[in-house]
Amino acid sequence: FNTRSLEGLEIHITAGPTREPLDPVRYISNHSSGKMGYALAEAAIDAGARVKLISGPVNLATPAHVERVSVTTAQDMLHASLEGLASCDIFIACAAVADYRPTSIAEHKIKKGNEEIMELHLVKNPDIVATVAASADKPFTIGFAAETRDVLSYAKDKLARKKLDMIIANDVSQTGIGFNSDENAVTLVTTTTQIDIPQTSKRQLAKQLIEQIALLYKQSK
Ligand code: C5P
């Protein structure tokens, strides 16, 4: 592991889930632990980068030397991600952003009624990584694709559709890796290369990913 491979570079990383409130006491969210994003932040620091970690609510300590910006909703995460993009060299979208949010947030706690069925109205959230990739200050932009089938073809489709420079494909149908687990196995995909990284701890994987990202970033310049 090269402790200087990202020296002089600034990396922004989104991590964890987002939380979409329904009323003052309830929200819609997911089981993302934030572990992969936090491990990447730590590995990027170890490789000499300056790191901003844009984090949804997680139970993890902020790694040393990392600047953490805490956010709650997808819209908060988007605003924090667009801020300071001009000085960002590499953007890694590791967050599990809620695809939809309630169309409105009730001012008071929603009361239980007599009806058996309750309908919620949801509206699509902005795509953060695609918005970053479409910005005038586009950094080298990396996304994740967590899929349960046809992993590589969906990943390649996302790479093109979101105009990413790299996508890290993750088969979440296998137990023991991915979501909320301590281990992961991925395939790193760009328009020209495909690199398999076999199952290992998220910490080890983060180090290997950071090494590959540093190489591919430099090749892109
Ligand atoms: O389309 P899908 O959600 O599978 O794409 C996953 C990738 O896109 C991840 O890198 C995730 O962080 C990012 N994403 C995002 N904003 C969203 C949805 C996904 O940045 N609203």
CA 64, 70, 75, 80 torsion-angle sign: negative
Atom in ligand 1 nearest the alpha carbon of residue 162: 8
Instruction: Give the distance (Å) from ligand 1 centre to CA of residue 158.
Output: 9
For residue 26, pLDDT over 90 is answered with: yes
Please give the angle made by the CA atoms of 154, 158 and 160, to the nearest 5 degrees: 120
pLDDT, position 91: 98
- Pocket residue to mutate for ligand 1, from 20, 90, 92, 97, most atoms within 8 A of Cβ: 97
Residue spans per domain, the chain:
10-220
Would you say how long the chain is, in residues?
221
User: pLDDT band for position 179 (50/70/90)?
Assistant: low
**Which residues belong to the active site?**
30
pLDDT, mean over the chain: 95
Ligand 1 site-directed mutation target among 18, 122, 129, most atoms within 8 Å of CB:
129
The finding on whether 155 has its CB within 6 A of some atom of ligand 1 is no
Q: Are strands 100-102 and 122-124 parallel, antiparallel or unpaired?
A: antiparallel
pLDDT digits (tens, 9 = 90+) for 100-109: 999 999 999 9
Quick one: which atom of ligand 1 is closest to the CA of 92? 10
Is 219:190 a contact under the CB 8 Å cutoff?
no
The fold of the 10-220 domain, in CATH, is Rossmann fold (3.40.50)
